[in-house]
Amino acid sequence: MEILVCVKRVPDTAENEIAVNKDGSDIVRDDLVYSVNEWDNYAVEEAIQIRDKVGGSVTVVAVGDDDAEEIVRREMAMGADTGIIMKDSAFEGSDGLGIAKILAKCVSMGKYDLVLTGAMADDGAGQVGGMLAALLDWPYASVVNKVEAGSGKLTVGREIEGGNQEMNEIELPCVLSIQTGINEPRYVGIRGIRKVASVEIPCHGKDACGLDAASIGDAGAKVKRAAYFVPVLGEGAEMIEGSTDEQVDKLIELLKAKGGIK
Amino acid sequence: MMAIFAIIQHKSGKADDTVAELCLAAKKIDAAAAVTAIVVGKAADCDAVAAEAAKYYANVWKIAADALAYPNAELIRPMLVKLIPAGSIVLAPFTPFGMDLCPGLSVKMNAAYCADVVGVDGLEGAALTVNRQEYAGQVYAKMKIDVSGGAVLTCRPGVFASDDVPVVNGAVADKTADAGAVPAAKRRFLEVVEAEVGDVDITKSDVLVSVGRGIESQENLEIAFDLAKIMGADVSCSRPIVDAKWLEKSRQVGTSGQTVKPKVYMAMGISGAFQHLGGIKGNPFIVAVNKNPKAPIFQVAEVGIVGDILELIPALTEKISEMKG
Ligand SMILES: Cc1cc2nc3c(=O)[nH]c(=O)nc-3n(C[C@H](O)[C@H](O)[C@H](O)COP(=O)(O)OP(=O)(O)OC[C@H]3O[C@@H](n4cnc5c(N)ncnc54)[C@H](O)[C@@H]3O)c2cc1C
């Protein structure tokens, strides 16, 4: 099975305090720690496991600038066979649909049976996989937390509300968006990173894949970020200050009053 | 005036709570809009849900067929594209159902797409401005959407909730014939596998010590269990803890886990993503401890401490045990 996995480099929200810059035009990007979008790691791991079971290859692709190379290499060190970077200044400012169009071109430049994306990324939209499937006219399943490969089709589990799982049969080629928890992404050691350090990663721009500049980037975006902000939302929590000792005393007092300590 | 459509999520003949919320969201987009609810499903479900939707929507369209008994987005999408006039605004809930259906729907309708809307500023000409959250809820973004060719928006469940939704007693129209034959889909629904029941039923707990990724390792869970024991509480958790297989799924609080209604909820090292908060009902007294002062959990907690749970939890346990003697 030939598998393409779409990956994104994002600020690590578990490690960073994200703040808005002075004029609200962007988040403060200095000193941010970046990593692979969490969901994408699960997607790459799943692709590797499928390949190891049924044969074929895994390719990872990122739409991005020079920095994208770092995460593509990381996912190759994990076990993906090849990487691709879709890079062009004309891609900048693309909305979700623009990114999906660029990825659709990447798909049509290869011969893939299966395309995986993460269920969502830093924007929390969960949109690219579904758009990509629609552009390709391939069937799609979102928030997938189980994949079993059969011949010409897959059995997939989708996560729905309340911890329940919806089982589907889906024909190949198809697009799936992968949910966390489907597997345990393997550890990437320094040896793995070294092994792929000098592998050539092809870059494709808009001309190579025949994209019309007006349909992508800022020009093609129907959805744009007008501003970032942090709202004042009601009162928020009453913050307990002081030393740990003082905080604990105050907290116990409150917990007792609220029936939190039996 | 825009034509706005709301896709109603439903289960076992009952509309989801978002049925009224989408109506309110539509009115925020354009108070003068003609808003139509669309209910897709098998006949008996459709009739019951359409009747419920007609309480809030002046117009309800139903598409009924046995093959639509389960909401398979691959079947529904082409029928909606056929039925909904180009240039309309379509609303749906940001749930696994909406996530499955809507990105592709926007492509097929040639419309703009915006997911997980949490606020609407309004419509000016063909520019609709809405609010959403990014970076796991740490910041908000104002999105300007060009709706001249229509738009598909998913709305976050719960945020457009209100007690006073005007009751209109609208009319139900059967649009099954207009939506065309149920298409042949390349994805077939097989079955729903129900969640496993765990050894502790956190839905019955009055007090929960809930741990998130801030707990850092499986070994550290011990401090949470020690605290829960001395408090007479149970241990629950956020999703990453279950993904890492440190605790069983039945302890996960959230939309894809359990819905809990405790009196006291201690969110320890949990950021407060909406999918997590979606599992906390009944207005508990929420205590949040987090080392990031910007963590969204502080917006919903009653009491907060900016601090390290690996220090605070043991200190709290020790003090309580001293107190108890
Ligand atoms: C379809 C879907 C369904 C989902 N369903 C659920 C669900 O049911 N339940 C759920 O929980 N999530 C669910 N999620 C995931 C959700 O979006 C978040 O990713 C998740 O809730 C984050 O968990 P967390 O807060 O523990 O981790 P993080 O977001 O990584 O936050 C960890 C927090 O701990 C703090 N921290 C770190 N170290 C310390 C320390 N030593 N002391 C104090 N604080 C510390 C950090 O500042 C941070 O705020 C779902 C996602 C999707 C897409």
DSSP letters for B20-60: HHHHHHHHHH-TT-EEEEEEEE-HHHHHHHHHHHTTT-SEE
Where on the phi/psi map is residue A145: left (φ > 0), alpha (ψ -120 to 50), or beta? alpha
Per-residue pLDDT band for A236 (boundaries 50, 70, 90) equals confident
Report the complex ipTM: 0.96
The predicted pLDDT at position A234 comes to 63
> How far, CA to CA in Å, does B57 sit from each of A93, B4, B19, B120, B158?
37, 11, 9, 19, 18
Residues in chain B with pLDDT values less than 50: none
Residues in chain B: 325
Per-residue pLDDT band for A233 (boundaries 50, 70, 90) equals low
The whole-angstrom distance between A74's CA and the closest CA on chain B is 20
Q: Residue B122 CB: number of other CB atoms within 10 A?
A: 12
Token pair 């393409």 is at which residue? A4
Token pair 């909305």 is at which residue? A95
Where on the phi/psi map is residue B32: left (φ > 0), alpha (ψ -120 to 50), or beta? alpha
CA distance B66 to B176: 12
Confidence check: pLDDT of A261 > 90: no
Residue nearest to atom 31 of ligand 1 (CA): B271
CA distance A35 to A188: 13
Is A201 touching B (CB cutoff 8 A)? no
Instruction: Read off the tokens for B236.
Output: 């629950």
Minimum mean pLDDT range among A98-112, A152-166, A229-243, B207-221: A229-243
Q: Which of A42, A179, A182, A240 to mutate to test the pocket of ligand 1 (most atoms within 8 A of CB)?
A: A179
The predicted pLDDT at position A15 comes to 75
Atom of ligand 1 nearest to the CA of A120: 53
Which residues are CB-neighbours of B222 under 8 A, at least 6 positions away?
none
Could you say which of B99, B195, B259 has the minimum Cβ distance to residue A143? B99
The predicted pLDDT at position A109 comes to 95
CA distance B83 to B5: 11
The predicted pLDDT at position B163 comes to 82
Q: Work out whether strand B151-155 and strand B139-146 pair parallel, antiparallel, or are unpaired.
A: unpaired
Q: Which of B202, B227, B238, B309 to mutate to test the pocket of ligand 1 (most atoms within 8 A of CB)?
A: B238
> How far, CA to CA in Å, does B133 sit from each of B152, B179, B201, B216?
17, 35, 32, 25
Residue nearest to atom 7 of ligand 1 (CA): B254
Helix (H, G, I), strand (E, B) or coil at B309: helix
Could you say which of B195, B266, B299 has the minimum Cβ distance to residue A164? B195
Could you say which of B96, B232, B307 has the minimum Cβ distance to residue A262? B232
The whole-angstrom distance between B256's CA and the closest CA on chain A is 5
Return the residue of B nearest to A180 by Cα.
Answer: B243
Rounded to a whole number of angstroms, the CA Rg of chain A reads 21
Residue nearest to atom 8 of ligand 1 (CA): B254
Token pair 């379509």 is at which residue? B90
Q: Are A83 and A73 in contact (CB under 8 A)?
A: yes
Amino acid at B267: A
Is A143 touching B (CB cutoff 8 A)? yes
| pTM greater than the 0.80 cutoff | yes
Over residues B164-196, the pLDDT tens digits come to 888 999 999 999 999 999 999 999 999 999 998
Helix (H, G, I), strand (E, B) or coil at A164: coil
When the pLDDT of each residue in chain A is averaged and rounded to a whole number, the result is: 95
